[in-house]
Amino acid sequence: MVLRRLRTVLAMIAALLVISTVGYVVLAGYSLFDATYMSVITVGAVGYEEVQPLDSLGRTWTILVVLAGNGVFLYATSLLVGVFISGEFRSAVRRQREGRRRTKLVDHVVIVGGGRVGRGVAAALAREGRDAVVIDRSPRVREMAESFGMAFLDGDATTDEVLEAAQVRRAHAVITTLDDAANLLVTLAVRALAPGVRVIARMNDRSQTARLRQAGAELALSPYEWFGAELAAAATSSAVVGLQDLPSMGLQTEELEVRPGAWAEGKSLAELSARHPAAIAIGMRRGATEAWQRVEDTLRPGDVVFLLGTPDDLRSMEERFMTG
């Protein structure tokens, strides 16, 4: 909007200079250079003397040019004042600053939706010191993102343009917290644009789990079922530690895939944990997900192991035992 208004002002000034120059060439017999010079000093109200004496017709043209120039100046002033008063200029500068910030992001998290769940995700990432971009259409969500030191992007996350602006190709993960239908579209859009990026989707209706997985979501989680399970655990045990407490203890969970030729191939989860006790194997996925105590088979290439530990321990586990 701001640039369009500025372009309008510049176009009006350019048009006035061209018309004025043509008039001085035709009516006063000036050369093209002299006519251009006369137009500039007249429109600019510089007040230099005439290039050469003007007759009545030439002076009448000069009067018209001066009046037109003043009109354009007043119109331009009103437009620019309106831009500054309305806050459009500040908004444009802020959007430009946010755009420059987003272009520098690497290995960040893209949060789609700034509702209650999205805010909880942003708060957790902020505690971990992770960079993130929040995509939403609400100005209040912008304030929330800025309060967590995160970039904000006003737009529709199902479009390539917005996902590109969020630097999704360089992101570590996308977390979409909208309704099931919107999350499905976001997942498809991310998968088409950045196939290697991890996608985690909020799930409200369990019947949508298969669709979200087929669309490319690695995880489809219901915040209500998850939180309900934690409340139930808290009710039955006064010493329960919830997952929300893990970051404060310096711990996190991670999924690591067993690569062909890795040391972990052919080993059990117990052997894996014994070899690197700082990273605890808590489960495995091979088609279905199983907790560690129900896993009797040894690990094969392609199996995904769920681990609990510090970020450094988890990286060490991956480098030493999971890769070939």
Binned at pLDDT 50, 70 and 90, residue 12 comes out as confident
pLDDT of 187 reads 93
Mean pLDDT value across residues 21-35: 90
d(C-alpha 315, C-alpha 254), whole Å:
10
Percent of the chain whose pLDDT exceeds 90: 24
pLDDT of 246 reads 63
Percent of the chain whose pLDDT exceeds 70: 85
pLDDT one-digit tens code per residue, 251-308 = 778 888 888 998 999 999 888 888 888 888 888 888 778 888 888 889 999 898 988 8
Mean pLDDT of the chain: 83
pLDDT of 299 reads 92
Mean pLDDT value across residues 114-136: 90
- Is the pLDDT reported for residue 189 higher than 90? yes
- Is the pLDDT reported for residue 2 higher than 60? no
d(C-alpha 160, C-alpha 157), whole Å:
8
- Is the pLDDT reported for residue 90 higher than 70? no
pLDDT of 242 reads 59
Tokens 């017709």 sit on residue: 57
Binned at pLDDT 50, 70 and 90, residue 214 comes out as confident
- Is the pLDDT reported for residue 84 higher than 90? no
- Is the pLDDT reported for residue 108 higher than 70? yes
| Alpha-carbon Rg for the chain in angstroms | 32
- Is the pLDDT reported for residue 71 higher than 80? yes
